[in-house]
Amino acid sequence: MPDSGLSRAQPIPTTDTGDRVPALTPPPGSAATAAARRTGILVTLVLGGLTALPPLSMDMYLPALPAVTDALHAPAATVQLTLTACLAGMALGQLVVGPMSDRWGRRRPLLVGMLVYIFATAICVFAPTAELLIGFRLLQGLAGAAGIVIARAVVRDLYDGEAMARFFSTLMLISGVAPVIAPVIGGQVLRITDWRGIFAVLTVVGVLLTLVVWKWLHETLPPAERHTGGVGDALRTMRGLLADRVFTGYMIAGSLAFAALFAYVSASPFVVQEIYGASPQTFSLLFGVNSIGLIAVGQINGKILVGRVSLDKALGFGLAVIVLAATALLLMTSGVFGDVGLVPVATGLFVLMSAMGLAMPNTNTQALMRTKHAAGSASALLGTSQFLIGAIASPLVGIAGEATAVPMAVVQLVCAVGAMTCFLGMCRPWRQVATRL
């Protein structure tokens, strides 16, 4: 695979504020300024596409689950494993791709991962049995993990400090739209073809994104900064990262916040429609509004708060709001205030989801700030932890059956309190010294 961008990689200068930028700042109004701005927008779109691909792979497929059950003559529980397999692949794949990108650079593992993703997705189009579909969905998730982990590592290569927090907030704007529109796209695809057509569309998206990456995403990790060791060295690096109490605190806090979000995604269709009697259209509207709230607060974080308020203060405030919202949801769903109806519950979910716009980008930023020389491995640990803890929390929301929303609120509150506890107890923001691995 030609590495056309490697020869053009340039040293990344450091500004007085500690923010790493991809090129020297050209004179205002010059042609170089316009070119730098276009390049920055292009990189943002490419990285946004990479982080959006896994949610598209998961959520476009959701409307097709009943059709897959009928077409493959498989039990619903077996077909559900196609989702679990893809999610598990995304979690475990990051542990492999992250260290690879620290050793061989960002482009090569990413391009290989994208090619494998295209192959696995194309095979899903023709899968004759549920078992084969599960197997290739696992491979699809393993390969798709390359986009998630390497996108975060590229951000760490190019930016530092406040600039990194701003970029993660911008990335959330792009990648946050994917889970909202993916089921809609999947539903429209099913109007003109069957469930196999969804995988055909994902294959085409994978091909286009691979071409964009090959053409425009240059290497961001210079050879001098790469790790030369093998598997043992990668394991030692990860062990060293986990031994850093502050890094691990941010990682677990972010993962528990992500698990509270996962609990919402898993339970909200049942809670909103079955318990509170909303129509599918109302549910779709509420889901979209909540997603807009998350994206909007993420943009407030990146455009307004960063540089004016410390990242830890913004993070702590976001976690506190999540705890309060989860507490209110538990009180409402358990009947403490009587039969409150849909509007108050929907309001609590909106507040909880919106506060994620402060929690998610700032935990990632603060964790990666400590991992200058192991961004790929650190990104892998962050992503794997989020997916695994989220996957564990997700099925717990239905543990008490379909007649109550209390389990959702309990899971969200436990995760929120756990996130706040890890943040305060392990990160200790009031005592923290800016150290880097």
State the pLDDT at residue 430.
Answer: 75
State the pLDDT at residue 204.
Answer: 96
265: tokens are: 């995604």
State the pLDDT at residue 402.
Answer: 61
Contact 376, 233 (CB under 8 A): no
Q: Which of 256, 252, 282 is nearest to 268 (CA)?
A: 282
Contact 12, 20 (CB under 8 A): yes
Q: How far apart are CA 67 and CA 293, in angstroms?
A: 32
383: tokens are: 């992503």
Contact 156, 368 (CB under 8 A): yes
311: tokens are: 């990242």
List, as one string, the DSSP characters of 341-397: -HHHHHHHHHHHHHHHHHHHHHHHHHHHTT-TT-HHHHHHHHHHHHHHHHHHHGGGG
User: How many residues does this entry show for the chain?
Assistant: 437
State the pLDDT at residue 39.
Answer: 53
State the pLDDT at residue 37.
Answer: 44
State the pLDDT at residue 31.
Answer: 46
Angle between the N-to-C axes of helices 342-368 and 311-333, in degrees from 0 to 180, rounded to the nearest 10: 150
Q: How far apart are CA 320 and CA 322, in angstroms?
A: 5
State the pLDDT at residue 400.
Answer: 60
Q: How far apart are CA 391 and CA 381, in angstroms?
A: 15
Contact 93, 138 (CB under 8 A): no
State the pLDDT at residue 19.
Answer: 40
> How crowded is residue 88: how many other Cβ atoms within 10 Å of its Cβ?
18
Residues 6+ apart with CB under 8 A from 247: 241, 367, 370, 371, 378, 437
Contact 366, 250 (CB under 8 A): yes
Q: How far apart are CA 160 and CA 15, in angstroms?
A: 10
pTM: 0.73
Q: How far apart are CA 321 and CA 299, in angstroms?
A: 17
pLDDT tens over the chain, length 437 residues = 444 333 333 333 333 333 443 433 344 444 443 444 455 677 888 888 888 888 888 878 877 877 888 899 888 778 878 877 888 888 888 888 888 888 888 899 999 999 999 999 999 999 999 999 999 999 999 999 998 889 888 888 888 877 888 888 777 767 667 766 777 788 888 888 899 999 999 999 999 999 999 988 888 888 888 877 666 677 788 888 888 999 999 999 999 998 898 888 777 777 887 788 888 778 778 877 888 898 889 889 888 888 888 989 999 999 999 999 999 999 999 988 888 889 999 999 999 999 999 998 899 888 888 877 777 788 888 888 888 888 788 778 777 666 788 988 999 999 999 999 999 999 988 765 444 44
State the pLDDT at residue 181.
Answer: 75
> How crowded is residue 35: how many other Cβ atoms within 10 Å of its Cβ?
12
Q: Which of 358, 354, 356 is nearest to 309 (CA)?
A: 358
Q: What is Dmax (Cα atoms) for the chain?
A: 66
Q: How far apart are CA 152 and CA 94, in angstroms?
A: 11
Q: How far apart are CA 11 and CA 19, in angstroms?
A: 14
417: tokens are: 């309190």
